[in-house]
Amino acid sequence: MKKIALVTGASAGIGWDIAEYLNRKDFSVVAAARRLERMHPLKEQGIYTIAMDVGDLKSVDAALECIVRDVGAIDILINNAATKVMGPAALVPMADLRYLFDVNFFSLVDLTQKCLPHMQAQAWGRVINISSMGGLFCTPFNSPYSSAKFALESWSRTLKQEVKKFGVEVSLIRPGSVKSEIFDNIVNQTKEELAWTGEWQDVYANFLKAMAKTQAEGADPVCVSEVVHEIITSDSPRVGYIAPVDQEQRVVQYIRETAEDERDSRGAAMFGL
């Protein structure tokens, strides 16, 4: 029987690629996102698509009820859905920060808790959380996103310790520079839209230009999909992976050889701070 894999945030970018990739590998794929109409090409490939706003608990519960009824209980959960908030840490509106944590962390925990009982009952399951290099390193103007990813990192590592004895494996994937739509609305802001950043406006504008360039030159999302497949098919997957995989050794070495203060200073210096 085919394993059933739920991919959140599947209407674009990394989530879209994961859904297509696993479908080609003959998994029973459920693609979930707020923008159901954008997933029509996935539906045409035989992928079950459903509207799910992970930040809305009623939407999540309704979607899960439909999935279990139409496809079956979820064996593999890929938590990919996320939003992005950036700006000076001293000025980011609290409402924006709370919204980001609701979507990027609390809703992910809620969905995972709802999928775990079936995995534990059958003594097999995979929870794959799409983290970020921002969950390992801190850079200016990225405090909201990195804070949620740091929370995800610690929660996932703890969860892995607790559910492993039930046959459920939990892993994190930390993409580096990978093409994604998550930055589009941020990097394209006008000068007027950046006025709220006050005395940081000029350096923040330069930061956004650098981010836009980095995103344009990012790796193909398939590098994340390949790691997802490796985790699913491994008998004993690790807790943490980096994508693209050819960057992993360099990143691990950098962490081992560089003190935290030095890493933070280098991050600030990159953007003129």
* Structure confidence by residue, pLDDT tens digits, 50-65: 999 999 999 999 999 9
For 174-201, write each residue's pLDDT tens digit.
998 887 776 666 766 777 888 899 899 9
Residue 89 reports pLDDT greater than 70: yes
**Gyration radius (Cα) of the chain, Å:** 19
Residues taking part in catalysis: 145
CATH code at 4-179+220-269: 3.40.50.720
Beta bridge partners of residue 243, listed in sequence order: 175
What was the pLDDT predicted at 183?
67
Cα 120–123–127 angle (5° rounding)?
A: 60
Where do we find the tokens 């090409």?
A: 41
Q: Which DSSP letter does residue 178 get?
A: B
How far CA 172 is from CA of 40, 165, 179, 254, in Å, comes to 28, 18, 18, 19
Distance, CA of 195 to CA of 250 (rounded, Å): 38
Question: Which residues have a Cβ under 8 Å from the Cβ of 12 and sit 6 or more positions away?
Answer: 33, 38, 180, 181
Question: CA-CA distance, 144 to 21, in Å (whole number)?
Answer: 30
Highest mean pLDDT among 14-28, 211-225, 250-264: 14-28
With 70 as the cut, is the pLDDT of residue 78 above it?
yes
Average pLDDT for 122-138: 94
Say whether pLDDT at 270 is over 70.
Answer: yes
DSSP state, 2?
Answer: P
Q: What percent of the chain has pLDDT over 90?
A: 71
Dist. CA 85–CA 186, nearest whole Å: 8
